[in-house]
Amino acid sequence: SSSGSGSSNIRRKPVIILVVGMAGSGKTTLMHRLVCHTHLKDIRGYVMNLDPAVMTLPYAANIDVRDTVKYKEVMKQFNLGPNGGILTSLNLFATKFDEVISVIEKRADQLDYVLVDTPGQIEIFTWSASGAIITEAFASTFPTVVAYVVDTPRSEDPTTFMSNMLYACSILYKTRLPLILTFNKVDVAAHQFALEWMEDFEAFQTAASSDQSYTSTLTQSLSLVLDEFYNNLKSVGVSAVSGVGMEAFFNAVETSAEEYMETY
Ligand code: GDP
Ligand code: MG
């Protein structure tokens, strides 16, 4: 009923949740928590790992890039360092991504969500050809949303907060997909400060003005840019460790998926 004119080729389900964020923001731990939540609530999930270099996963993946490409082998074979190895591994996997899409299409009737973990280093997914190919392959077939994971305790520093928001902003405009700001680790620091800064840029400026490394005019201009960005997204506070915020997260995913269906 809410599907727009361009959505005729896109099924309603499953919804793809791309979990992206800075290294150490807690993507993999959050994946584990989300998987637990789906089991608990009888939500039908499918789980995918796209990090070629992760040593051990806390969750069981239905599709794991490591089953197809061995990143250490790729490093040796192409004489690459770790980052080149990860990037090349993901490129190799991306060339076969149509197979991944057909696997999901075959199971589509039995699935509510596909949860996708991405490499630790954010730019390997967000600023690479393979990341773009994979995102596009998902988004042209299923409703797709981006969960941008933020390390909340680290973002209490205004400069870090702004860098993180600018990065999220760049992902929103690059992918043009609904984005959920997912403030993680709220067991350590509540995300209330972030909501206040997003609602009232003067509150942010006051906090930032104590930081000598930012000129007030630059901060002011950037806050205004971000103000428009904030209007275009949802934010939730979660803890991958305590499990707080899971309902809010999935509610935001549902609203974002509706938004996707209306837009595409
Ligand atoms: P990734 O690189 O984004 O996949 O991050 P990881 O999931 O590997 O987590 C990085 C670190 O943050 C690990 O030490 C986790 O235990 C920790 N971490 C992740 N989520 C939370 C959380 O919600 N609360 C706390 N306190 N620590 C977390
Ligand atoms: Mg990880």
Query: In DSSP terms, which residues pair with 15 in a beta bridge?
Result: 113
Query: How far is ligand 2, taken at its centre, from the CA of residue 28, in Å?
Result: 4
Lowest mean pLDDT among 19-28, 70-79, 82-91, 212-221: 212-221
Q: What is the pLDDT of residue 11?
A: 78
Query: Using an 8 Å Cβ cutoff, are 130 and 90 in contact?
Result: yes
Q: Whose CA is nearest to atom 5 of ligand 1?
A: 26
Of 221 and 84, the structure prediction assigns the larger pLDDT to 84
123 lines ligand 1 (CB under 6 A): no
Q: Whose CA is nearest to atom 10 of ligand 1?
A: 24
pLDDT band of residue 88 (cuts 50, 70, 90) is very high
Can you tell me the mean pLDDT for 149-167? 94
Beta strands in 4-99 (DSSP E): 15-21, 45-49, 63-64
pLDDT of 10 strictly over 80: no
The ipTM (two decimal places) reads: 0.99
Q: Provide Rg for the chain, Cα atoms.
A: 19
Query: In DSSP terms, which residues pair with 148 in a beta bridge?
Result: 20, 181
Query: How far is ligand 1, taken at its centre, from the CA of residue 247, in Å?
Result: 20
Residue 200, C-beta contacts closer than 8 angstroms, at least 6 positions apart: none
Residue 12, C-beta contacts closer than 8 angstroms, at least 6 positions apart: 3, 143, 261
What's the order of all strands across the beta sheet hosting 144-151? 63-64, 45-49, 113-117, 15-21, 144-151, 179-184, 234-237
pLDDT band of residue 3 (cuts 50, 70, 90) is very low
Q: What is the pLDDT of residue 202?
A: 86
- 200-248 residue pLDDT tens: 988 998 888 876 665 667 777 788 888 889 988 999 999 999 999 999 9
26 lines ligand 1 (CB under 6 A): yes
Q: What is the pLDDT of residue 12?
A: 85
pLDDT of 187 strictly over 80: yes
Angle at 67 between CA 90 and CA 106, to 5 degrees: 90
pLDDT band of residue 132 (cuts 50, 70, 90) is very high
pLDDT of 6 strictly over 60: no
Q: How far apart are CA 119 and CA 91, in angstroms?
A: 12
Q: Whose CA is nearest to atom 9 of ligand 1?
A: 26
pLDDT of 9 strictly over 90: no
28 lines ligand 1 (CB under 6 A): yes
Residue type present at position 138: F
Among 28, 29, 156, say which to mutate for ligand 1: greatest number of ligand atoms within 8 Å of CB: 29
Assign 65 to helix, strand or coil.
helix
Q: What is the pLDDT of residue 230?
A: 93
Crossing angle of helices 158-175 and 216-230, rounded to 10°: 40
CA dihedral 138, 93, 131, 73 (to 10 degrees): 160
Q: Whose CA is nearest to atom 20 of ligand 1?
A: 26
% of the chain surpassing 90 pLDDT: 80
Can you tell me the mean pLDDT for 151-156? 97
14 lines ligand 1 (CB under 6 A): no
Q: What is the pLDDT of residue 2?
A: 43
Q: What is the pLDDT of residue 215?
A: 64
pLDDT band of residue 5 (cuts 50, 70, 90) is very low
Residue type present at position 32: H
Query: Using an 8 Å Cβ cutoff, are 143 and 12 in contact?
Result: yes
Q: Whose CA is nearest to atom 15 of ligand 1?
A: 26
Q: How many CA atoms does the CB half-sphere of 263 hold within 13 Å?
A: 15
% of the chain surpassing 70 pLDDT: 94
Q: How far apart are CA 68 and CA 55, in angstroms?
A: 15
Lowest mean pLDDT among 56-70, 91-105, 192-206: 192-206
CA dihedral 215, 121, 252, 45 (to 10 degrees): 180
- 49-79 residue pLDDT tens: 999 999 999 999 999 999 999 999 999 999 9
